[in-house]
């Protein structure tokens, strides 16, 4: 008969993949809202290093295109789920579940307003992704009229926003791909207005708000809400003049003709979205109650997803607010009465998550953070409660 000490000795010689797992996977959600000038995550993939580091600590990382996209660059993270922002809100509210996949069939929608040469550049990128990366991009279609994308900065909030004048044309194009090729993920390329150098100056120096991001989110939200499939957007723009003072945080957007590569890579294995409680639920789906921690900028706590996680009655996740990652918003945990662990930077945040995953109170790693255990009430001999 094996003794307990013998079992422990055997486990020590097994690799992590061979060891018996007695705990469920640890799942973390990383959020950096789009178009709010986040100091980290407000530019061309500059939050991707944080996501890579965080993914090395947790078992499953859930994040969204604003964090994981880097224009011409991308980095495959095997345990990360690429979830569009509207879908992430639905997931947090418990309305949708995430179904991990091995591969999606990706369709491509191009705005009819894209010039012939610029359209060809994007199609060549799609072909390169198919030939060199093996990505399953099946077919493209062109909208039946120009989408007419408009963008602006909201003067009250400082956020980027906008609209497309012909959303019905976009939805018809997506519908045609779904019906004809049974695609289950869609990349959209809208022709965006070209900015002059002055209006892009701050962003290219790494100190401004991404003027494209707000309406990009509106486009992907529209498709995901209507079709409940993964979607991400890549803007079509003419190349901008060389800038010798370009910030490294913005540089990924200026090394090619398109932002499409990261979008195709992310969509190729993005999880599918399933309505919770439906008959099509599969084993292995991930639910909001599976989330153990949420990490986000300290002044961006008013998003629907964050509020849903904060209001959870059962299995409420640890919410970590990063002080160093500031935005144009002012939605702090104190204002919203949300219970959070506030940390100075992402170094600290990842340390807190590592402790939380290990089942350790993060405060026990700090100086003088553990006080004497409190007594809130006591029972008398007759069973009545006497408050201390």
Mean pLDDT of the chain, nearest integer: 90
Neighbour-count burial of 110, counting CB atoms closer than 10 A to its CB (0-12 exposed, 13-18 middle, 19+ buried): buried
% of the chain beyond a pLDDT of 70: 89
Q: Establish if 50 belongs to a structural domain.
A: yes
pLDDT of residue 18: 54
Q: What's the per-residue H, E or C state across 120-181?
A: HHHHHHHHHHHHHCCCCEEEEEECCCCCCEEEEECCCCCCEEEEECCHHHHHHHHHHHHHHH
Does residue 208 share a domain with residue 149?
A: yes
Q: Which of 212, 238, 270 is the last residue of a domain?
A: 270
- Give me the pLDDT at residue 20, please: 54
Asked whether residue 161 falls in the same domain as residue 130, the answer is yes
**Does residue 168 sit in the same domain as residue 308?**
no
Assign 8 a pLDDT band (cuts: 50, 70, 90).
very low
Write down the pTM of the prediction. 0.89
Domain presence at residue 386: no
Q: pLDDT tens-digit profile of 75-106?
A: 999 999 999 999 999 999 999 999 999 999 99
Tell me the CATH number at 40. 3.40.50
pLDDT in tens, 151-203: 999 999 999 999 999 999 999 999 999 999 999 999 999 999 987 666 677 77
Mean pLDDT of 126-143: 96
Is 278 contained in some domain?
A: no
- Name the residue range of residue 252's domain: 101-270
Q: Enter the tokens of residue 117.
A: 């040469």
Final residue of a structural domain among 210, 235, 270: 270
Same domain, 117 and 258: yes
Phi and psi for 153 in degrees, rounded to 5? -100, 125
**Does residue 171 share a domain with residue 238?**
yes
Tell me what pLDDT residue 368 has.
Answer: 83
Residues, the chain:
388
């Amino acid at each position: 008969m094996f003794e307990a000490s013998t079992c422990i000795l055997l486990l020590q010689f097994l690799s992590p993949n061979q060891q018996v797992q007695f705990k469920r996977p640890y799942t973390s959600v990383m959020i950096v809202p789009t178009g709010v000038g986040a100091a980290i995550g407000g530019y061309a993939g500059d939050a991707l290093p944080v996501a890579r580091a965080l993914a090395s600590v947790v078992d499953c990382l859930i994040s969204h295109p604003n964090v994981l996209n880097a224009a011409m660059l991308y980095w495959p993270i095997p345990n990360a789920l690429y979830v569009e922002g509207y879908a992430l809100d639905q997931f947090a509210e418990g309305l949708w579940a995430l179904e991990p996949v091995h591969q999606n069939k990706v369709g491509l929608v191009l705005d009819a307003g894209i010039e012939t040469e610029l359209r060809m550049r994007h199609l060549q990128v799609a072909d390169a992704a198919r030939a060199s990366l093996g990505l399953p991009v099946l077919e493209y279609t062109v909208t039946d009229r120009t989408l007419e994308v408009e963008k602006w900065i909201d003067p009250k909030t400082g956020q980027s926003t906008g609209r497309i004048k012909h959303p019905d044309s976009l939805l018809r194009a997506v519908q045609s791909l779904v019906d004809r090729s049974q695609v289950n993920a869609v990349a959209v390329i809208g022709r965006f207005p070209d900015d002059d150098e002055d209006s892009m100056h701050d962003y290219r120096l790494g100190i401004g708000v991404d003027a494209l991001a707000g309406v990009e989110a509106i486009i992907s939200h529209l498709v995901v809400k209507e079709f409940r499939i993964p979607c991400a957007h890549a803007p079509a723009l003419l190349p901008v003049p060389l800038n010798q003072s370009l910030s490294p945080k913005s540089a990924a957007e200026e090394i090619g003709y398109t932002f499409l590569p990261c979008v195709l890579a992310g969509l190729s294995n993005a999880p599918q979205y399933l309505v919770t409680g439906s008959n099509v639920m599969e084993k292995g789906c991930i639910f909001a109650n599976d989330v153990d921690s949420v990490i986000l900028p300290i002044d961006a706590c008013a998003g629907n997803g964050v509020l849903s996680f904060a209001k959870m009655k059962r299995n409420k996740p640890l919410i970590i607010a990063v002080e160093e990652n500031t935005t144009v918003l002012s939605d702090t945990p104190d204002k919203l009465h949300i219970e959070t662990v506030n940390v100075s930077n992402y170094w600290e945040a990842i340390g807190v998550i590592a402790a939380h995953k290990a089942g350790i109170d993060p405060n026990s790693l700090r100086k003088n953070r553990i006080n004497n255990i409190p007594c809130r009430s006591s029972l008398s001999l007759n069973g009545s409660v006497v408050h201390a």
